[in-house]
């Protein structure tokens, strides 16, 4: 407890305890090591006082009385007795009541062995039941959605799942129904609990009433071993990974104060299925004949040895460098790797091969240098009570699930004001103080006005499609709270437009940031909401053109690293688009894909396709074959999450540990080891025998990571946060002009949905089917204008292509705009996007 | 379509306008749906959810809590015999048994002709008139077995003059626009003007 | 026997016999809306003072002084709301419905006075769903009152005083009578009581704003109090229980009925036996027990008959006047059945929120049902008491709670009363060959 925090002195079972003001008795007691049994209380949700299990003797000055410790605040001098005779009797009574209608099916219950009800009963409960009446009956488990089953007979009506759905997720689709002892949890008929967060209810259900389809009957708690780790998503959600017989069987969220508060998205929680997939790569593969003979032009990928795969790769690289120079080798991807993996690959590419053609983002994020140059926020800063958050990113509910939950909580409970500066509504819109929904590509104009620039209306009395009055009011609201932190959640709101538009808007924000931070005010800071695993680690480790490990540019950091590494590239490289273009031009001989699928992910599919055809040798390191890697010449099977130790960096720059609990399939290896081995074959000895060695070197050579020891990371539950970069923000030379949209067209916004055709998702059987089918969403008022009916199957035409799809009415899409998911399994929006145009305008016609 | 029809929708909108927060209109709207169809259909719940801005599951949560709101069709007439303590003391059990025998259904059941649903209910606040019952929430006091039989025959040949199930009050509140004070939203309102009235200005109040 | 109240002491039931008392014409003819006019001549704070002076106790059950409760509104927090509790559902209680059906304008006038006094800018009249006729009468009266300028914009032409009264109706749930459940229900939710503290919605109530919840009868007294002064009201009845109160006397009496009597001075014997009231037991019958204040109240017996209907006295004697419901049982009563009847009520009406109430009351009901079906076990009687003890530790009066609201503990009262006094009648239900049934291992 810090110095200036006031303390409330209470006594718990005779021991003095220092409680925090406003703290519940149950929480204060728990911190002091006194466990008070409970079922409904959950530290991350409002107390409801339903189960009454936590009643203890509390004396707040008027004599001891039985009170629920989950809803009584500590007060100075309070005396709490959790062991009194009267407490014991009352708790026994509640336990007996709860067991009256609870089935005795513990032997076949998933929760058996980790069930608080079972534990309480063992610890306190009566030996035999005095209840001879018939128990309550319900139809046995019913699915509440595709992932979660509900057994109402086991439910003890603690309100945790229903409260979670309502308070935390904002999806009140399961509720209490009926009354009294007939009360049950249920959905509306035929309206499932379709929430991206439903798996959390399984984790917090104190009994086995809610079970997860992917885990049901898979294991018993006592068979599981577990490690605490970090899930490889940009939030760096803290998880416990549980396994049995060398198989990952479950992820449980860890209540990390700084990050995910125990929550996980369903997408991440159930992705464990992919790790165990039969389709994982087990051995190195090379091109060969159908009979398995090595043949560089062969039609098949055939199994080979590591030695052979590595030496073929080394030979190809050597030949390319000798032939066309180091920049004829390029590396794409790596965002899903650990920091150590990324560092080893970066050192191999930049320090050994000498190429700066390295990019972890597949043109679906933001310029790396720009991101690193911005002052970084923490999630807790963004959620500071009374603060302001500007959302200039894709819908966090779709892309950064647990960030969405944290922001939602901050807005609803802590009065954080949200200002949306997005091209369409998001999952937070209904909570936003201001919804400044702009025309695609026109964020910068709104940002300028928002940041105190001149508010000058366009011809329609708007700025970038946003009403002037709303922008002015939002600007005033920001100014009003200038004493509280302002945080920008920054991402690429639409993949149908270049990142330039976003960076133009950032430039406006940065211009104003100096004003904001004048006079010791907290000023402005950024949370980069980029897509894909450890993408922020990749930027920090230098897997980006023009950057070196430690948030430093090639220009600034080159000399120091050249000393450590021997050499650094002499010329800055290109980003993914530039690399693919170079390949098309015949300048790339070896293309290394680190868990990357440019064919599937890069916004310009044709360019990727052509590039892959041109490259002499494609080398891939991956967990699975994907549309791009099936075209590789050499494939390394990589170790995945939970199969190797390492560290992860989240969007705050927070570094936390990942731990190994199962062995990789077959001979798969960690990427740092593959890179180290390749380096050796190319004549460089990294000296890495373990990920710890890699980390050690990072902390010596990377300026932002200096002295962040592995011990310090492991010792703190919340990890450590890397230092801000010294790179200065360089505003774009000229703002990118936005063409006018004509009266018959709709301007396209394309962003990802949570469930799509992503590789990992599609290898998790429980999740694969959840991706929605493609629809075009249009504002209800636009139907008349474009002359089609809501729900109709229409033909959508752009200057790049055309396709048929249903069109639906969605008031969350501003007028004049059309929204389409980026990665639908059935239709590919990239067929409509002209990669050389700044915006994509669509025409719709009835078929 | 068992959503609210045009007529109900008009009433619904008037009801919603009387509350500072639309969700408050939930129970009156559920009654309205019941008035239209005789029970609350799932479509109506979904429609009401749209009208007040909550999920259908939340409407279901509320709807299912309250006994009067039926989610399955019931008879044209609900005959609710009071089984509260005062009526119990004056023979409600006998009356219920008599009703069961006469109608051939148990409490909760509906007669084959769909006319009558029998219920044994808790105290309906007519305790000095025990034993009593309600037909579609209209009281019958000090009911004997003969009275009951008489009632049943009137209900069966439609001479009882009771509106069919769902219709509660025959008079609706209506506030003319010129007379409405205006709902006070829970946020952003100051002290009402009259609180500033000064005692000394107004005679001998103090 | 103290003298029963003369008929002219009826102050809030005075229009029960007036044919058109429920109409605006009838109401105005009999002095209606004079209290409101008088109030508008006073400063709001002075109206509040009159109510304080009157020592008007709440008539909804808890008997908390209205003037004091009104004072709990935190200063400077607006808007504030008035919610009228017309959910009358406590078994044996029958008065609010009559006040709403027979004299709706009196209630409306009371609401307006309260709104004026406290700066309550909107009033919600929550009427029990099953009371279709009361809803009709109130709707008609409100329509008339709006038309005539008593309610709505600029009440009685006052430029600064406007208030809307919204008629709201429930849908069948006793628990909604509990004031925080009432507010939940009014917000469109399941009628589940809110956590205490805050103990009074006056601080945080409807939509999180200060909210005064008062019973129908409580508010119906306001026109008289303002017209005649708080002193005059306080002069009626006993010191600690002022004014008059309306009691419903039901059960095994010769002439059950609803009577307005001076509060605090009339005795149980008066109201049960006086020919002007319930007229005594049915011919040839004797009193066995009676419930003095609604189903939640512990039972009284012969020895309590001479207690006055006065709050403190009754509280001290171990029960309560509650909602003014006196239910009389004579010697023909099967107390086990009566007890089961009351317990079944609470089991059916539990909202389901707190475990001890949800599970405990229905367990009690099941045990009693089994007993009545001849399947009792000797240990069931002790089990009944122990389950009661787990719902309300110590089985004291007033009950200690392991629950949020007193509904669960209310089910304990009849069992404790009946089992203590009439244990042999319970034992008589045990099968002659009762054997001890051992429990099922859990
Ligand atoms: C279970 C329960 C049921 C109640 N039912 C009613 C009721 O039907 N009517 C009523 O006025 N008060 C009822 N009350 C009391 C209210 O909570 C509240 O105290 C009362 O409405 C306040 O009004 P008053 O101060 O004017 O009495 C009930 C209380 C409880 C605990
Ligand atoms: S299903 Fe589980 S979490 Fe939900 S109310 Fe029941 S016991 Fe609680
Ligand atoms: S944990 Fe306190 S009542 Fe459930």
CB count, 10 Å around CB of A415?
A: 14
Query: Of how many residues is chain A composed?
Result: 847
> Is the CB of residue B172 less than 8 Å from the CB of residue B11?
yes
pLDDT of B164 reads 93
Of A82, A98, A114, the domain-final residue: A98
**Radius of gyration of chain A from its Cα atoms, rounded to whole angstroms:** 28
**Domain limits for position C389:** 335-441
**Radius of gyration of chain B from its Cα atoms, rounded to whole angstroms:** 22
Please tell me the distance from the alpha carbon of residue A33 to that of residue A23, in angstroms, as a whole number: 15
> Span A549-572, mean pLDDT?
94
pLDDT tens for residues C392-409?
A: 999 988 888 889 999 999
One domain, residues C313 and C379? no
One domain, residues C274 and C360? no
> Is the CB of residue A548 less than 8 Å from the CB of residue A350?
yes
Cis preceding-peptide flag for A648 (omega within 30 of 0)? no
Q: Which helix (H) or strand (E) holds C232?
A: helix C230-235
| Structure tokens belonging to residue A132 | 């001879």
Of A275, A308, A333, the domain-final residue: A275
pLDDT of B204 reads 43
Cis preceding-peptide flag for C79 (omega within 30 of 0)? yes
Chain B residues with beta carbon closer than 8 angstroms to that of C256: 86, 127-130
One domain, residues A539 and A681? yes
CB of B57 less than 8 A from some CB of A: yes
- Tell me: pLDDT of A183 over 60: yes
> Span A394-404, mean pLDDT?
97
Q: Is A113 left (phi over 0), alpha (psi -120 to 50) or beta?
A: left
Closest CA to A655 of A726, A725, A727, A717: A717
Q: What string of DSSP letters covers A391-410?
A: EESS-HHHH-HHHHHHHHHH
What is the CATH number for A763?
Answer: 2.40.40.20
One domain, residues A708 and A778? no
CATH code given to domain B6-71+168-179 = 1.10.10.1590
pLDDT of A651 reads 98
Q: Do B195 and C119 touch (CB under 8 A)?
A: yes
In a domain, C126, yes or no: yes
Q: Tell me the best of A149, A162, A175, A183 to mutate to test the pocket of ligand 2, counting ligand atoms within 8 Å of each CB and taking the most.
A: A162
Q: Are strands A646-649 and A654-658 parallel, antiparallel or unpaired?
A: antiparallel
What is the CATH number for C379?
Answer: 1.20.1440.230
pLDDT of A520 reads 78
> Is the CB of residue A598 less than 8 Å from the CB of residue A362?
yes
Atom index in ligand 3 nearest the CA of residue A50 equals: 3
What is the CATH number for A437?
Answer: 3.40.228.10
Protein residue with its CA nearest to atom 2 in ligand 2:
A205
Please tell me the distance from the alpha carbon of residue A350 to that of residue A327, in angstroms, as a whole number: 10
pLDDT of C292 reads 96
- Tell me: pLDDT of C190 over 50: yes
Q: Tell me the best of C64, C125, C178 to mutate to test the pocket of ligand 1, counting ligand atoms within 8 Å of each CB and taking the most.
A: C178
Number of domains in chain A: 5
One domain, residues A611 and A552? yes
CB of A184 less than 8 A from some CB of B: no
One domain, residues C59 and C88? yes
Protein residue with its CA nearest to atom 10 in ligand 1:
C60
> Is the CB of residue A475 less than 8 Å from the CB of residue A452?
yes
Spell out the residues 6+ positions from residue C266 whose beta carbon is closer than 8 angstroms to its own. C2, C4, C5, C308, C309
What is the CATH number for A165?
Answer: 3.30.70.20
Chain C residues with beta carbon closer than 8 angstroms to that of B53: none
- Is A53 a pocket residue for ligand 3 (Cβ < 6 Å)? yes
Q: Which residue in chain C is spatially nearest to B86 when comparing CA positions?
A: C251
Of C234, C252, C286, the domain-final residue: C234
Band (A4; pLDDT cuts 50, 70, 90): low
Q: What string of DSSP letters covers A629-656?
A: GGG-SEEEEBP-TTSS-EEEE-TT-EEE
CA dihedral A193, A194, A196, A198 (to 10 degrees): 20
Average pLDDT, chain C: 94
How distant, in Å, are the alpha carbons of C235, C295, C318, C394, C405 from that of C416? 37, 13, 12, 11, 19
Q: What string of DSSP letters covers C149-209?
A: TSSBSSGGG-SS--BEEEEEE--S-GGGGSHHHHHHHHTTS---PPPSSS--TTTS-GGGS
Query: Of how many residues is chain B composed?
Result: 206
Report the separation in Å between the CA atom of A28 and the middle of ligand 3, taken as the mean of its atom positions.
14
- Tell me: pLDDT of A440 over 90: yes
> Is the CB of residue A125 less than 8 Å from the CB of residue A95?
yes
pLDDT of C64 reads 95
CB pairs under 8 A between A and C: 111
Please tell me the distance from the alpha carbon of residue B16 to that of residue B25, in angstroms, as a whole number: 5
Band (C5; pLDDT cuts 50, 70, 90): very low
Q: Do B60 and A177 touch (CB under 8 A)?
A: yes
Percentage of chain C exceeding pLDDT 70: 96
Percentage of chain C exceeding pLDDT 90: 92
Number of domains in chain C: 3
Site of tokens 């021991």: A15
One domain, residues C221 and C161? yes
- Tell me: pLDDT of A465 over 80: yes
Please tell me the distance from the alpha carbon of residue A364 to that of residue A394, in angstroms, as a whole number: 11
Query: Mutate which of B61, B71, B188 to disrupt the A interface (most A C-beta within 10 Å)?
Result: B61
Q: Which helix (H) or strand (E) holds A255?
A: none
**Domain chopping of chain B, boundaries:** 6-71+168-179, 77-156
| Structure tokens belonging to residue A545 | 């053109």
**Higher-scoring residue by pLDDT: C142, C198:** C142
For A320-329, A771-780, C33-42, C355-364, which range has the lowest pLDDT when averaged over its residues?
A771-780
CB count, 10 Å around CB of C312?
A: 15
CA C159 from chain centre, in angstroms, equals 36
One domain, residues C41 and C128? yes
Chain B residues with beta carbon closer than 8 angstroms to that of C168: 24, 27-28
Closest CA to B67 of B80, B49, B51, B76: B80
pLDDT of A146 reads 95
Closest CA to A235 of A406, A21, A364, A419: A406
Q: Which helix (H) or strand (E) holds A606?
A: helix A605-614
In a domain, A450, yes or no: yes
> Is the CB of residue A667 less than 8 Å from the CB of residue A661?
no
One domain, residues C325 and C342? no
> Span A210-216, mean pLDDT?
92
Phi–psi pair at C95, nearest 5 degrees = -155, -45
Spell out the residues 6+ positions from residue B132 whose beta carbon is closer than 8 angstroms to its own. B82, B87, B124, B126, B139, B140, B141, B142, B143
In a domain, A130, yes or no: no
- Chains with ≥3 Cβ pairs under 8 A against A? B, C
Report the separation in Å between the CA atom of A206 and the middle of ligand 2, taken as the mean of its atom positions.
7
What is the CATH number for A85?
Answer: 3.10.20.740
Nearest CB to C363: which of A47, A66, A131? A131
One domain, residues C96 and C206? yes
In a domain, C381, yes or no: yes
Nearest CB to C439: which of A65, A129, A178? A129
Please tell me the distance from the alpha carbon of residue B2 to that of residue A538, in angstroms, as a whole number: 56
* Three-state secondary-structure class, residue C142: helix
In a domain, A394, yes or no: yes
Band (C441; pLDDT cuts 50, 70, 90): very low
In a domain, A123, yes or no: no
In a domain, A109, yes or no: no
One domain, residues A472 and A390? yes
One domain, residues C60 and C133? yes
Sheet holding B77-82, edge to edge: B116-121, B77-82, B133-135, B138-140
- Is A174 a pocket residue for ligand 2 (Cβ < 6 Å)? no
One domain, residues C266 and C344? no
Please tell me the distance from the alpha carbon of residue A397 to that of residue B201, in angstroms, as a whole number: 59
Q: Are strands C80-86 and C211-215 parallel, antiparallel or unpaired?
A: parallel
In a domain, A164, yes or no: yes
Under-50 pLDDT residues of chain B: 202-206
Of C308, C330, C352, the domain-final residue: C330
- Is A38 a pocket residue for ligand 3 (Cβ < 6 Å)? yes
CA B116 from chain centre, in angstroms, equals 17
Q: Which residue in chain B is spatially nearest to C117 when comparing CA positions?
A: B195
CATH topology for the B77-156 domain: Glutaredoxin (3.40.30)
Report the separation in Å between the CA atom of A388 and the middle of ligand 1, taken as the mean of its atom positions.
43
**Domain limits for position A446:** 372-528
Chain B residues with beta carbon closer than 8 angstroms to that of A176: 61
Query: Of how many residues is chain C composed?
Result: 442
pLDDT of C434 reads 53
What is the CATH number for A561?
Answer: 3.40.50.740
Nearest CA-CA distance, residue B21 and chain C, Å: 8
Of C312, C330, C348, the domain-final residue: C330
Please tell me the distance from the alpha carbon of residue B122 to that of residue C129, in angstroms, as a whole number: 13
Question: What ranges make up the beta strands (E) of A103-143?
Answer: 142-143
In a domain, C285, yes or no: yes
Q: Tell me the best of C55, C85, C182 to mutate to test the pocket of ligand 1, counting ligand atoms within 8 Å of each CB and taking the most.
A: C85
| Structure tokens belonging to residue C360 | 């405990």
In a domain, A323, yes or no: yes
Nearest listed ligand to the Cα of residue A211: 2
One domain, residues A715 and A789? no
Atom index in ligand 2 nearest the CA of residue A162 equals: 4
CB of A174 less than 8 A from some CB of B: yes
Of A704, A721, A738, the domain-final residue: A721
Nearest listed ligand to the Cα of residue A163: 2
DSSP state of A568: -
Q: Which segment, A293-297, C84-88, C194-198, is predicted with the most confidence on average?
A: C84-88
What is the CATH number for C291?
Answer: 3.10.20.600
Query: Mutate which of A175, A187, A189, A429 to disrupt the B interface (most B C-beta within 10 Å)?
Result: A175
One domain, residues A779 and A814? yes
- Is A51 a pocket residue for ligand 3 (Cβ < 6 Å)? yes
- Tell me: pLDDT of A434 over 60: yes
- Is A55 a pocket residue for ligand 3 (Cβ < 6 Å)? no
pLDDT of C223 reads 98
One domain, residues A445 and A463? yes
One domain, residues C212 and C294? no
Taking the alpha carbons of B10, C191, A405, A200 in that order, is the dihedral positive or negative?
A: negative
Nearest CA-CA distance, residue A193 and chain B, Å: 9
How distant, in Å, are the alpha carbons of A143, A201, A369, B42 from that of A139? 11, 20, 58, 21
pLDDT of A514 reads 72
């Amino acid at each position: 407890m810090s110095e200036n925090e006031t303390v409330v002195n209470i006594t718990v079972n005779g021991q003095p305890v220092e409680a925090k003001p406003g703290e519940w008795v149950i929480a204060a007691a728990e911190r002091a090591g006194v466990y008070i049994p409970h079922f409904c209380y959950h530290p991350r949700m409002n107390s409801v006082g339903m189960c009454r299990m936590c009643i203890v003797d509390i004396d707040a000055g008027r004599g001891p009385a039985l009170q629920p410790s989950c809803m009584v605040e500590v007060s100075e001098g309070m005396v709490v007795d959790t062991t009194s005779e009267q407490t014991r009797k009352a708790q026994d009574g509640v336990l007996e009541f709860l067991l009256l209608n609870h089935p005795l099916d513990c032997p076949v219950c998933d929760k058996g062995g980790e069930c608080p009800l079972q534990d309480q009963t063992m610890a306190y409960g009566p030996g035999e039941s005095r209840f001879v009446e018939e128990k309550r009956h319900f139809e046995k488990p019913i699915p509440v959605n595709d992932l979660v089953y509900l057994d109402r007979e086991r439910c003890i009506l603690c309100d945790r799942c229903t409260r979670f759905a309502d308070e935390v997720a904002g999806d009140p689709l399961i509720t209490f129904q009926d009354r009294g002892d007939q009360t049950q949890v249920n959905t509306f008929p035929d309206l499932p609990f379709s929430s991206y967060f439903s798996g959390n209810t399984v984790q917090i259900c104190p009994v086995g009433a809610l079970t997860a389809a992917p885990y049901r009957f898979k294991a018993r708690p006592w068979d599981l071993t577990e490690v605490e780790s970090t899930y490889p998503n940009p939030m760096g959600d803290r998880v416990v990974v549980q396994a049995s017989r060398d198989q990952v069987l479950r992820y449980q969220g860890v209540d990390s104060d700084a990050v995910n508060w125990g929550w996980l998205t369903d997408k991440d929680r159930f992705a464990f299925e992919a790790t165990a997939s039969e389709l994982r790569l087990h051995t190195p593969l090379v091109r060969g004949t159908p009979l398995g003979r090595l043949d560089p032009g062969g039609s098949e990928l055939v199994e080979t040895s590591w030695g052979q795969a590595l030496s073929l790769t080394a030979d190809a690289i050597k030949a390319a460098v000798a032939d066309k120079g180091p920049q004829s080798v390029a590396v794409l991807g790596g965002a899903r790797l650990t920091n150590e993996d990324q560092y080893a690959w970066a050192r191999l590419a930049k320090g050994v091969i000498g190429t700066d053609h390295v990019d972890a983002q597949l043109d679906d994020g933001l310029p790396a240098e720009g991101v690193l140059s911005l002052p970084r926020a923490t999630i807790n800063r963004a959620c500071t009570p009374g603060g302001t958050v500007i959302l200039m990113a894709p819908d966090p509910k779709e892309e950064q699930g647990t960030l969405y939950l944290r922001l939602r909580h901050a807005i609803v409970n802590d009065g954080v004001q949200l200002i949306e500066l997005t091209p369409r509504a998001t999952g937070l819109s209904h909570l936003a103080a201001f919804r400044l929904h702009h025309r695609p590509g026109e964020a910068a104009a709104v940002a300028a006005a928002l940041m105190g620039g001149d508010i000058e209306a366009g011809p329609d009395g708007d700025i970038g499609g946003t009403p002037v009055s709303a922008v002015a009011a939002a600007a005033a609201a920001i100014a009003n709270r200038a004493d509280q932190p302002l945080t920008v959640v920054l991402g690429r709101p639409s993949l149908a437009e270049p990142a330039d538009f976003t960076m133009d808007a950032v430039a406006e924000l940065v211009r104003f940031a100096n004003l904001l931070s004048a006079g010791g005010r907290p000023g402005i800071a950024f949370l980069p909401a980029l897509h894909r695993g450890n993408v922020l680690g990749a930027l920090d480790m230098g897997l980006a053109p023009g950057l070196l490990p430690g948030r430093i540019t090639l220009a600034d950091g080159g000399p120091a690293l050249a000393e450590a590494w021997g050499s650094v590239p002499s010329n800055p490289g290109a980003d993914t688009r530039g690399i693919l273009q170079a390949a098309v031009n015949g300048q790339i001989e070896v293309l290394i894909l680190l868990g990357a699928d440019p064919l599937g992910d890069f916004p310009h599919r044709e360019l990727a396709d052509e590039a892959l055809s041109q490259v002499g040798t494609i080398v891939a390191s991956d967990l699975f074959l994907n549309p791009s890697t099936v075209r590789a010449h050499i494939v390394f099977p990589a170790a995945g999450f939970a199969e190797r130790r390492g560290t992860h960096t989240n969007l705050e720059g927070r570094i936390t540990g990942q731990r190994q609990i199962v062995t990789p399939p077959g001979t798969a290896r960690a990427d740092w080891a593959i890179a180290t081995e390749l380096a050796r074959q190319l004549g460089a000895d990294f000296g890495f025998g373990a990920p710890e060695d890699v980390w050690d070197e990072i902390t010596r050579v990377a300026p932002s990571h200096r002295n962040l020891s592995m011990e310090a990371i492991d010792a703190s539950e919340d990890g450590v946060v890397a230092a801000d970069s010294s790179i200065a923000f360089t505003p774009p030379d000229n703002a990118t002009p936005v063409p006018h949209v004509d009266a018959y067209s709709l301007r396209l916004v394309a962003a990802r949905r949570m469930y799509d055709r992503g590789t990992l998702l599609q290898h998790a059987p429980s999740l694969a089917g959840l991706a929605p089918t493609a629809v075009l969403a249009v504002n209800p008022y636009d139907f008349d204008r474009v002359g089609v009916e809501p729900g109709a199957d229409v033909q959508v035409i752009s200057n790049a292509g055309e396709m048929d799809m249903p069109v639906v009415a969605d008031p969350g899409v501003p007028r004049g705009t059309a929204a389409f998911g980026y990665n639908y399994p059935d239709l590919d929006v990239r067929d409509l996007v002209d990669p050389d145009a700044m915006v994509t305008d669509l025409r719709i016609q009835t078929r | 379509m068992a959503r609210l029809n045009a007529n109900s929708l008009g009433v619904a909108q008037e009801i919603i306008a009387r509350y500072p927060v639309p969700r408050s209109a939930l129970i009156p709207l559920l009654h309205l749906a019941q008035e239209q169809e005789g029970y609350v259909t799932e479509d109506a719940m979904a429609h009401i959810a749209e009208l007040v801005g909550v999920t259908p599951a939340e409407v279901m949560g509320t709807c299912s809590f309250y006994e009067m709101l039926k989610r399955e069709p019931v008879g044209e007439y609900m005959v609710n015999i009071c089984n509260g303590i005062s009526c119990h003391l004056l023979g409600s059990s006998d009356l219920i048994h008599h009703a069961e025998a006469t109608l051939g259904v148990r409490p909760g059941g509906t007669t084959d002709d769909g006319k009558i649903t029998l219920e044994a209910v808790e105290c309906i606040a007519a305790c000095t008139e025990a034993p009593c019952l309600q037909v579609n929430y209209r009281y019958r006091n000090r009911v004997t077995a003969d009275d009951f039989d008489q009632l049943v025959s009137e209900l069966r040949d439609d001479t009882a003059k009771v509106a069919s199930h769902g219709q509660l009050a025959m008079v609706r509140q209506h506030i003319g626009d010129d007379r409405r004070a205006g709902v006070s939203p829970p946020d952003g309102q100051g002290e009402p003007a009259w609180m500033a009235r000064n005692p000394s200005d107004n005679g001998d109040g103090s | 026997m103290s003298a029963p109240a003369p008929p002219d002491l009826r102050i809030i039931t005075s229009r029960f016999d007036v044919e058109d008392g429920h109409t605006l014409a009838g109401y105005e003819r009999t002095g209606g809306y004079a209290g409101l006019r008088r109030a508008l001549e006073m400063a709001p704070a002075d109206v509040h003072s009159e109510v304080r002076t009157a020592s008007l106790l709440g008539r909804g059950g808890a008997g908390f002084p209205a003037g004091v409760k009104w004072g709990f509104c935190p200063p400077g927090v607006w808007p504030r709301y008035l919610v009228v509790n017309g959910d009358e559902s406590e078994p044996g209680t029958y008065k609010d419905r009559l006040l709403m059906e027979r004299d709706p304008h009196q209630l409306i006038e009371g609401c307006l006075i309260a709104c004026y006094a406290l700066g309550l800018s909107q009033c919600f009249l929550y009427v029990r769903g099953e009371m279709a006729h009361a809803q009709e009468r109130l709707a008609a009266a409100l329509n008339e009152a709006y038309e005539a300028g008593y309610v709505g914009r600029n009440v009685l032409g006052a430029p600064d005083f406007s208030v809307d009264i919204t008629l709201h109706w429930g849908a069948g749930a006793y628990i909604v009578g509990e004031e925080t459940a009432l507010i939940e229900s009014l917000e469109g939710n399941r009628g589940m009581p809110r956590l205490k503290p805050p103990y009074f919605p006056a601080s945080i109530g409807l939509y999180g704003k200060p909210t005064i919840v008062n019973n129908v009868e409580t508010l119906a007294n306001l026109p008289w109090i303002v017209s005649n002064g708080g002193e005059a009201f306080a002069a009626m009845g006993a010191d600690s229980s002022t004014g008059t109160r309306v009691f419903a006397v039901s059960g095994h009496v010769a002439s059950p009925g609803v009577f307005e009597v001076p509060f605090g001075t009339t005795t149980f014997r008066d109201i049960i036996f006086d020919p002007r009231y319930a007229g005594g037991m049915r011919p040839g019958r004797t009193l066995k027990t009676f419930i003095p204040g609604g189903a939640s109240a512990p039972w009284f017996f012969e020895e309590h008959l001479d207690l006055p209907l006065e709050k403190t006295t009754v509280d001290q004697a171990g029960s309560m006047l509650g909602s003014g419901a006196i239910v009389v049982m004579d010697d023909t009563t099967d107390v086990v059945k009566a007890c089961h009847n009351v317990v079944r009520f609470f089991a059916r009406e539990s909202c389901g929120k707190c475990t001890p109430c949800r599970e405990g009351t229905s367990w009690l009901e099941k045990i009693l049902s089994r007993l009545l079906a001849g399947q009792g076990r000797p240990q069931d009687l002790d089990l009944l008491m122990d389950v009661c003890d787990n719902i309300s530790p110590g089985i004291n009066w007033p009950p200690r709670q392991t629950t949020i609201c007193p509904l669960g503990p209310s089910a304990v009262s009849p069992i404790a009363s009946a089992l203590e006094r009439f244990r042999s009648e319970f034992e008589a239900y045990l099968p002659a060959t009762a054997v001890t049934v051992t429990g099922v291992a859990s």
